[in-house]
Amino acid sequence: MRLLPLGVGDAFAARYYSTCLAVEHDDHWILVDCPHPIQKMLREATVQAGLTLGPERIEAVVLTHLHADHCSGLESFAFFLRFVQQRKLPLYLHRDVLEELWQGHLAAGMRHLQPAVGAPPIEMHLDDYFDVHLLEEGRAVPCGPFSLECRHTLHHIPTTALRITAAGQTLGHSADTSFDPTLIEWLSTADLVVHETNHGTHTPYSALAALPAPLRQKMRLVHYPDEFDVEASVIAPLRQGELVDVAKSQRV
Ligand SMILES: [Zn+2]
């Protein structure tokens, strides 16, 4: 399993794109979260990594929550798939995240489509653009060659962390969360743990830096602020466009 960060920043970032991960196994690619401008992010990261990976190769999006720095690319990405590729976007998310996805986020821009110039708009629905698959705590959900597990985090709005497993390897991702030792314990069974860090109600770097060394060694940071000192960090930050092999990722 391989991991390609398309963005590593937070909602206020000027230096980075918003945090978004492309995950691959056996040439199957999925995205974890989908911020704007997703296609530019995908292009720049794959060029940097020496990959040829266009949007047509993305088989699904796993969505952690509805803050714009995680979900603002869904509208344009789903429109692209509909009009250019004539397909729906498979979307994996918890029911609590799904609840406000359409009425609270997407409907304003996607509810109406004109079938032709001057024609009256037709009414569209979430299912016209997306194939929705619900994640559930305590149950692994298949997604191509991947198996997806979720767990709620401590955040302003419903948010789920993830464990993504393929061929015996597991990638953990905290999504956005306050510092939560029980969540870190849940993530720690993974071979590689991607964890957020930021200000306010987010997870402070100092709390993660105080974790036991074996855990820090298999942890990578994302969602860090522009001023975060990536060189001084005792936990390796992920970098945009840096291809990471999950099996070989432990620092020694
Ligand atoms: Zn958030």
Q: What is the pLDDT of residue 65?
A: 98
Tell me the C-alpha distance between 146 and 18, whole Å.
24
Is it the case that residue 136 has pLDDT exceeding 90? yes
Q: What is the pLDDT of residue 250?
A: 61
- At 154-196, the pLDDT tens digits run 999 999 999 999 999 999 999 999 999 999 999 999 999 999 9
What is the Å distance from ligand 1's center to 154 Cα? 10
What is the Å distance from ligand 1's center to 134 Cα? 20
Neighbours of ion ligand 1 (CB under 5 A): 67, 176
What is the Å distance from ligand 1's center to 169 Cα? 27
Tell me the C-alpha distance between 59 and 65, whole Å.
19
- At 33-75, the pLDDT tens digits run 999 999 999 999 999 999 989 999 999 999 999 999 999 999 9
Task: Give mean pLDDT, residues 210-214.
Answer: 96
What is the Å distance from ligand 1's center to 251 Cα? 28
pLDDT-based confidence at residue 248 (cuts at 50, 70, 90): confident
For residue 139, give Cα distances in angstroms to 43, 94, 147, 189, 246.
34, 11, 10, 16, 23
Whether omega before 37 lies within 30 degrees of 0, making that bond cis, reads yes
| Helix residue spans in 111-222 (DSSP H) | 126-129, 181-187, 205-209, 213-217
What is the Å distance from ligand 1's center to 145 Cα? 27
- Reported as type and span, the H/E element at residue 96 is helix 95-98
What is the Å distance from ligand 1's center to 71 Cα? 10
What is the Å distance from ligand 1's center to 26 Cα? 30
What is the Å distance from ligand 1's center to 213 Cα? 27
What is the Å distance from ligand 1's center to 205 Cα? 17
What is the Å distance from ligand 1's center to 131 Cα? 23
What is the Å distance from ligand 1's center to 228 Cα? 18
What is the Å distance from ligand 1's center to 161 Cα? 11
Tell me the C-alpha distance between 150 and 117, whole Å.
43
Quick one: 2-248 is in which CATH superfamily? Answer: Ribonuclease Z/Hydroxyacylglutathione hydrolase-like (3.60.15.10)
What value does the mean pLDDT of the chain take? 96
Q: What is the pLDDT of residue 252?
A: 39
What is the Å distance from ligand 1's center to 157 Cα? 7
What is the Å distance from ligand 1's center to 115 Cα? 35
